[in-house]
Amino acid sequence: MENVLNSTVEEQQEYIINMGPQHPSTHGVLRLVLSLKGETVLSVEPHIGYIHRGIEKMCESITYPQIIHLTDRMDYLSAHINNEAVCLAVEKALDVEVPERVKYIRTIMAELTRIQSHQLWWASFGMDLGALTCFFYGLRDREKILDIFEETTGGRMIVSYNCPGGLMYDIHPNFQTRVKEFISYFRKILPEYNQLLTDNVIFHERSKGMGVLTREDAIAFGITGPSARASGFSCDVRKHEPYSAYDKVKINEIMYSAGDTFHRYTARIDEMWESMNIIEQLIDNIPEGPFFVKMKPVVKLPEGEYYQRVETARGELGVYIISDGNKNPYRIKFRSPNFSNLWVMNHISKGNKIADLVAISGSLDLVIPDIDR
Amino acid sequence: MKSILKYFSEIFYGVKSLLGGMRVTGSYFFRPSTIVTQKYPENRDSLVMFDRFKGEVVMPHNEKNEHKCTGCGICEINCPNGTIEIISKMVETEDGKKKKAIDKHIYRLGMCTFCGLCVKTCPSNALAFGQEFEHAVFDRSELIKVLNQPGSQLEKGVE
């Protein structure tokens, strides 16, 4: 008793607090059990499952075209890319070659999705670190992409634009001009992002050297996406295993080697530039032709196992389908990027202060519904 | 001496970076043309949604109160959530034959996920997406809608 009274907070033993499930900087219902000594993080134990909807199980009882509306709701910020993954897997299984037009439109839409996802990430990352202006600027520019989505697909985030065999509708006549307008607008705006946050001295102090992830650890933990490329792990599926129209464009893989919070940040900013380059290579060359392949009314996959991986805004998404020849899958498994990226948090935030944990988890860009599915 | 210089240069660059950020926000203060905010409830009259906007599923009727729904049930099969339910009835046509027609096309807005499969797969293009998006109601039962208007009939020539 006397010992406790005489000691200060610093000297006391580790204690455990909850961060979440309703914490603003976990960006969803993620619960982190932190073990702290003073302000220093000793370990982070993520508890997941608060938004588990059983999407994989639900997929077993619905048909392949219907799965699209569920994958929309997994990683809602890369909804279009998730849909594309399922469609590509089904098309691979049926040996269907989609028209060139579909491939081009899918690629452009996927890159637009990537930009809007990174914009929202930039907005919320700035807000996590206390720069509230970023949030307004990020959402203001994201609105322009959402308007493009809304005009062509009818949905803003939940687009449901893909279907096995092509697209639900053709692109809107205004699509090309609007995308070009957006790119010329956003090329002027992105340097402002740098002025606001990237060059800020407070931001440098809070992000440089925080949460260092080495290349070996990135591979061992299965980290993918910009977080892994900031550590020097070349893992861009668009480059290594091109799907859709990515084999027709020149892609610069954004690579850094430091692997700290700051470089995970710059990797994403550079990805926005790169995505705009990809769109510019494609937008004027969309070939004429049909926007879907006529499929049978009931899509039945031949018996077997099929796997397709794509690069979402956060990393590699894998869709693994086992079919027993019926109209619905026997088993479907999504290898979601956020689930793998989450578990590195304990490793890279050890020894940092609790305020830096917010920066580190923000730089991993987690979307919780994709973790729980 | 060097450490003092470094100390002051760090302060200088710190202040410079902060002013750089402030210049961005400050410049917007003098450029009111860049404002994108809409005053939503006030601008209801002038608010136009995109023509493909998925507000709700509707069944367009022509001026003679006729729709194109034959009651085939393809939308009901394709809906992933059981949003649509079709109650059909048998009607007698002019030449005395008995034919299936819809009695009620029930659409549960509260369950709809706006995937668009019903509109896309409808063989007679009887369904479409409406522009209405203010769906808040006080009772859940108001979200169950009957899409075909009372007394409506199948348009001539649609099989």
Band of the pLDDT at B32, cuts 50, 70, 90?
A: confident
- pLDDT surpassing 70 at residue A10: no
Q: How is chain A split into domains, by residue range?
A: 51-372
Q: How near does any CA of chain B get to the CA of A256, in Å?
A: 23
In a 13 Å sphere around the CA of B97, the CA atoms on its Cβ side amount to 4
Mutating which of B83, B114, B127 best tests the A interface, going by the most A Cβ atoms within 10 A? B114
Q: How many CB atoms lie within 10 A of CB B98?
A: 8
- Contact by Cβ (8 Å): A308, A319: yes
Interhelix angle A79-94/A100-128, rounded to 10 degrees, is 150
pLDDT digits (tens, 9 = 90+) for A138-179: 888 888 889 899 888 888 888 888 888 888 888 888 888 989
SS3 call for A282: helix
Task: Report CB contact under 8 Å: A154, B120.
Answer: no
- Contact by Cβ (8 Å): A26, A368: yes
A151, A154, A201 ranked by CB distance to B14: nearest: A201
- pLDDT surpassing 70 at residue A11: no
Task: Report CB contact under 8 Å: A168, B25.
Answer: no
Contacts of B14 in chain A (CB under 8 A): 201
A143, A155, A199 ranked by CB distance to B20: nearest: A199
Band of the pLDDT at B138, cuts 50, 70, 90?
A: very high
pLDDT digits (tens, 9 = 90+) for A205-252: 888 888 888 888 889 988 888 888 888 888 888 888 888 888 888 888
Task: Report CB contact under 8 Å: A66, B117.
Answer: yes
SS3 call for A167: strand
* A63's tokens: 């048909």
Identity at A363, one-letter amino acid code: S
Identify the pLDDT of residue A314: 87
Band of the pLDDT at A2, cuts 50, 70, 90?
A: low
- A198 contact B CB<8A: no
Task: Report CB contact under 8 Å: A70, B80.
Answer: yes
Among chain A residues, the shortest Cα distance to B128 is held by: A154
Task: State the Cα–Cα distance between residues A153 and A309, nearest whole angstrom.
Answer: 24
Identify the pLDDT of residue A320: 92
The CATH architecture of the domain made up of A51-372 is Orthogonal Bundle (1.10)
Mutating which of A135, A141, A160 best tests the B interface, going by the most B Cβ atoms within 10 A? A160
> For residue B122, which of B60, B52, B55 has the smallest C-alpha distance?
B60
- pLDDT surpassing 70 at residue B72: yes
Task: State the Cα–Cα distance between residues A117 and A108, nearest whole angstrom.
Answer: 14
Task: Report CB contact under 8 Å: B115, A200.
Answer: no
pLDDT digits (tens, 9 = 90+) for A93-124: 888 888 888 889 889 999 999 999 999 999 98
Tell me the CA end-to-end span of chain A in Å, nearest whole number: 48
**Residues shown for chain A:** 373
Among chain B residues, the shortest Cα distance to A58 is held by: B80
CATH number of B56-154: 3.30.70.3270
Among chain B residues, the shortest Cα distance to A160 is held by: B115
Which stretches of chain A are assigned E, i.e. beta strand? Answer: 15-19, 31-37, 40-47, 162-163, 166-167, 304-311, 316-323, 331-335
SS3 call for A286: coil
- A195 contact B CB<8A: yes
